[in-house]
Structure 1
Amino acid sequence: MIITHLAVEGVGRFRSRHVLRGLDTGLNLLCAPNEAGKSTLFRALHLALFARHGSKTEEMRRLGSLGAELPACVEVGFKRGGADYLVKKSFLRSTGAKLYKNGTLVADGRAADEAVWTALDLTPGTSAAEEAAFGLLWVRQGQSFRPAEPDEGTRALLSRVIEAEVGEVLGGERGERVLRRVADRLAEDETARGQPKAGGPWKAALDRRAEAERTLAELRRTLDALEADRTALTDKLRERALLADPAETARQKADRDAALAERDAGARAEQAAQQAGTEEAQRELAADRARKRHEELVGLDQRIARTREKIAALTRRAAEQSAAKDAQAARLAAQEQAFGALATRLAEAERAVDRARRRETAARDAERVAEISARLVRARELREHIARIRQLITTLAVPADAVKAIETAMQALDAARARAEAKAPRVRVTIGPAGAGRVTCAGEAVDGTRDIAAVAPVTVAVGDLATVEIVPAASDDAAAIEGAREQLARALREAGVASLAEAHERRARAADLQTEGRGLAAELAATAPVPGPGPAKGGKEDGIALLEKALAEAQAGLETGSDSGAPLPDRDTLARERAAAEAARDRLRREHADAQSAVLAARSEAEAETLRLQALQLDLADMQTRLGEDLAVCPDDRRAERLVSLAAEAAQARAAFDAATRRAAELRAAVPTADQRTALDARVRRLTQAIDGRERRLAEVERDIANLQGRIATRGGEGLGEREAETADALALAETEVAAIERRLAALRLLRDAVTESRRAARDSYLAPVKTAMRPYLHALFPGADAALDASFAIDGLTRAGADEPFVSLSDGTREQVAIIVRLALGRLLAERGQAVPVLLDDSLVFSDDDRIERMFDVLTQAAEKQQVIVLTCRSRAFLSCGGRALTIERDDA
């Protein structure tokens, strides 16, 4: 299949009619920026071929132009099986579908949808491109780095193609049936992880065994508990007698009352001490306030003196800083003058480097002239060799129609002979012991038994005793045989060969010559490359013309780059001249940079000196302001009198505080210590808890005695021994059933593993055609590498430099490249077997570096020799060297 035409209207951003121009065989490349509509065209092509025109899916609704009440119209033209098809579909509004074949309408409406699928060999009723190979080779945006995973239909198609070469492998249909039956039998009993399956016989038997084990364990626990209850009842009765002693209870209550009275007396003494402590704290607070007022006034006097000293120091520093600022300004002027002189010298050095580089470029142009001349000679030789090979192919070639005619004539002759033998009488001669060596049939001695068809008269001779002749009845079969012979002779004469084997031999020789010609054409394409994917004759001539043009341009550039036509020194001399000029320039650059840094540093220092002077002036103004504020609070003439008054007030407050401290100490001495209070509290709590615990424990023991007596009475009449024996028998029966099921499952697993191992051994021969198709592409990217595939053609990993790498451990770029190579290989395999499907890549190779993407361009070019390849990309600059036929999206107002 070759896509030749794509037009859209009312689709996405294309409200008016737009056409994708330039589609043809080989490599097609559409480079356009983001939001140019590339992915929209991909979706439109996908839906036009694989969706019904009346569908209302979410993907279909996203096809229409935003905010426009227009039908989404798509036209797709393609070639398949020697016929030209054109599909026209309207979606969403005014829906409709038409299919044209060779310009004639062949289907309309719903029939057109299914006729398109029939033309593409898809199953009628499909609604997605995942049918057959389209879903594998049409890669959507963002999916290029995913591994190729063919669906069921695609795997079936690939299997049919491969089995035509390698025959029945993997056990054939019988092996599939055996493996499925074993898997189904195992699935009845176990899960995919080998665990018992819910609802299965194995799970039911295990459940019955587990239930019997639980029941038996519970019965035994019940018997053990009954014996334990009897022992516990005896202990509880003994404990109740001890807890009910009245003398011990009365003694504990008396001890608790005495401890409570002692604790109350200590609490009253502690309350009196707390009141004395409160008065002491008030006196201390008054003394602290008087002392702080005196200290604040002393601090104010000292701060005024320090401020006056700082003002004098700041005045001196401001004068020194002003002088330093003037000196720095003078140094800055001198450095700026030196910086200007260095800039002039640096410009002269830059011009000298430029002259040296131009002379070196002219020398390289001279070498390029020699290289292009050698390539031009080789390209002309290759073109002449290719012409001679084409002449030989024309002489040797036997048309495929002629070979087909010879094969048809031979089949007709064989059929005529078979019909004649079917109608002819059978002659059977059986020799007895005495007739050995004496009987001949149709001129040949008979030994044992001989059975022949009498198509022509047959003579049977018995020594010299008798001769028997069998003459068949007249029929038209002889004439048919003779006519078939004449037809075969005529077909051989028309083909110019003596036999069918000679015809095949000449076609094989022509194919070898074609292969040699393609190799020479590839060498010519590498020697004289041209833009465009096809290796047509005109392209070769264009490549040679381009080389001639490049040679002329290089010669012209050489003449232009030389100094007035004067001969240039050798490359090493020019390189030394350039290196010397660059070294001088770099030295001046460093001096220029150092001078520039010095100027900047001097400017920064001048600014810093200015800022420091301003900061000193601000600090001086701030000190003067603070001195004025302190003097306003307490002038010099009142400060000494206030200091004396505040000192006397602080002394009186301290004496009152000392008296309150002595009285509080006397009251605290009468208060019990913390250890004494803690001991009394602990004793009270202990006695109270002992009394409460004794009463609670007595009540608990009474309840436990009643419970134990009831449980013993209940369990004694349940027949626990008989139930234990019955449950043990049920457990033995369940264990026997589980063992039988597990032996059957082990046999099934062994059979499954044996079949799987034999299928794994055959998989290498099954995947050989796919790996053969993939090897040229993979080696172009990773020389000597190999890829591992599973039976469903999905990639498992990559082997490079003797190391195996799982596919999931590769980088995104490598996974993307390998996934595309696998798809191209599967597409090539289908194309070589007559099942060609276009390869469509939407924004692929987004994770490739510069080197890898160049090699992937080579892979795409190789793949385009076998089938149509369409690449949609927004990376115009990266794909400049890809080659291929450039596609454009153009508005069509016709």
Structure 2
Amino acid sequence: MTASLEGEVGTILGGERGRSLIFAAKALSDRHFTATGRQAANGPLKAIDDELAAARQDVTEKRAAQADLEQKLKRLEDRRRSLKGYEDERTIEKAAEDLRAAEADRRRAEEREREWQAAESALKQADAVRAGAVEALKRRDALSGEAAKAKAALQQAAADHGEIDAEARAAAEAVTAADANQQAARARLKAAEDRHESHRRRSDLVRETKARDSQLATLAAAEELTDRIADLREALAHIVIDQKALAGIDKAERRRRDCEVRLQVAAPAVTFEPAEGRAVRTSDGAPVAAGQALRVVSKSRYLLEGFGAVVIEPGGGAANLEAELREANAALDAVLKGCGAASEAEARQVFAERQRIEAELKLLTARFEALVPEGIEAARARLRAAEAAVARLGETVAQAGGAGDDASSFDKDGEDAADKGLVAALEEARRASAAADRSLDAARRDSEGTALRRVKAESDLGHARRQAERLAAEAEAAEAARPRAALVEELAAADADCEAKRGRLALKARELGEDGSKTAELRCKAAERTLRQITATVQQLRDETIGLEAEVRIAGGSGLGEAIQLLDERIADLERRRARTAREAEASRLLYTTLLDAQRAARERWLGPIKTRVAPFLKLIHPESDIDLDEETLELKGLTRAGVAERFDRLSAGAREQVAVVTRLALAQVLKHGGHPATVILDDALVNTDEIRLERMHHVLREAARDLQVIVLTCRERDFRGLGAPMFRV
């Protein structure tokens, strides 16, 4: 086959030399690039890039160090100039002298302030003596005035007490009359209340009796519903088929039907037409009707009278489908047995009964909850409470001489009229009693008010008498101990002493002036801060100068300039090496891709004659299709239909047969044209081809038979009757 193809297209780029050349180009490209075309992590270009990045990083750091050194030199010069200015101007000595002067001013200011404080204290003492004299004179005058006022108040209190005492006696008499009127009104109210209470108890008895009867009827209806609900729940408990079980039965039934349908489609149909007087039997001797199509789902043996036997084994997975059908039937039987049903229809009837019971149960439950929303036990408790209330009211009415719990004799209209009359009488008695209570309360409040006023008047009279006597005695004693004229003389002497001390304080205040001890203290503290700040600044400048001098000496000896120059030269050399290596890498990739393109084009030319001869045959059975062959083994790899590639092993059995036949015919034509004629033998190669495609394959075989010898071996004579070729039976 290779010789025949080379005779048509020439020698193909390939063989050991071609593969070695491509492998060498690939190895050279792989040094620099990965399979996806990216730069290789361990390639020469990556190594140069890493070295170049390290050198650039190093020179950047050294340039930064050089710039830092220049900044330090500038700072050192600035610190030296500032330190020299402080030393030349004797700034620290001047600040110390200012501090000493401020401390002397502070001491003098403190002395003047102490003298001013002494004068101020003397003036305060004199003012206190004068205030004492003024206060003593005021107290004497106030005591005389209070004694006169107390005497007048005593006279007024005696007059008020006489008037209030008469009013209190009249108010006590009014309270006695109001109390008698209240007692009579309360007696009338008690009689009205007793009559109304007797009538109310009888009405309550009738109402509670009706409520008890209503609750009794409700409880009976609820208990009946409870029994019906319990019966339905018991019936529901015996039905095991629910929605989930029915879904499982449906799923098993669908699976069984699917298996039957697929088996009917996949199983071949066999029809026996024996000659007259002949018969066909199954392997167990049962006769087979003539002309009747049989579906063969498993390997079967039929006895042909006068011929022998024939064994039919269906393909296309019919045996597997039969096993799946048996499994599906077994699964359906298991599900039905678990639900206690003999068939799917019976299961659906049971499920329908379940739904009916559930609906009725839901309706009865809703009626039960409407009757007794809080539960039947609570309804029973309410009934017991109602019965107890009826019994209690019956006893009360009986004790009061009523009609017991007989509600049948209750005349609603007459009782309502009596109740209205009793209520009117009760309200009238309550209003009269309330009016009597209000009159009594008013009389008592008036009596209590006048009594309190009398007590207060008596108290005020006694207090005014004692106050007048005490103040008169105190005024006489004070005048005897120290006459008022002596107090006036002491006040005049205190005024003169205050004036003298006030003049001395004004003199000391003028001496103190505005520049007091606080101002001197602030100036002293400011001088202290200035001295500390200047001293700290000078020391900081000296420390920075010493530190910068040491850093400059260290950095100056490291040779930064020479190192930067060497690194710049090394970077330039690395950049040249990288450009050269990059050109080599791109050249190796270009070489490898060029060789691959050439190999791909050569493969297309190599397989071109075969595809050219396949195309007319393939067009007859699969229009717009092309085959894909292995360039070395010529094995079928796939089929491209309407631009969609399909693997050969993924095609249907019929399609694989047809494509394989036309490919063998094309290979035979290539061999013939290359001087190596060959015969094409087909041994039942089209058993899976449908009738339409089989007719097209007949056209293909007839076209191929013009140039080739084609031999078809088959046991399916009917499939090739229309081919028009000579037949030989063995």
**TM-score past 0.5 threshold:** no
What's the TM-score bracket when you normalise by the shorter of the two chains?
Answer: 0.3 to 0.5
In proportion to residue count, which structure has more strand?
Answer: 1
Give the TM-score, by structure 1 length.
0.37
Give the TM-score, by structure 2 length.
0.43
In proportion to residue count, which structure has more helix?
Answer: 2
